[in-house]
Amino acid sequence: MLFKAGFFLHVVALRILIAWVYANTGSLFLAIMMHGSSSGFYGVFTVNLVDPELRVIFYLVYGAVLWVPALLVILKYGRTLKS
């Protein structure tokens, strides 16, 4: 259950940030690169460096870290995410 919560935390925060990047640049390429870099980071990092027992902690921490900029974006730009 905690694994799903951590995964949900990071997925939602990342989607907010990707939507913000796209809304303010209009660049689908940048949004794709942001998604790809995140997927590549946790795909390589969790498979190779994090023990399966610690992945729950990794996803919870990664989700919490992503929520810091996501909350700043929400508070500054609101629902439209546009500057």
In tens, the pLDDT along 4-46 reads 888 899 899 999 999 999 999 999 999 999 999 988 887 777 7
Identify which has the larger pLDDT, 48 or 6: 6
**pTM for this entry:** 0.85
Side-chain half-sphere exposure of 19, counting CA atoms within 13 A: 15
Q: Supply the pLDDT for residue 23.
A: 94
Backbone φ, ψ for residue 26 (5° rounding):
70, 10
Q: Supply the pLDDT for residue 39.
A: 86
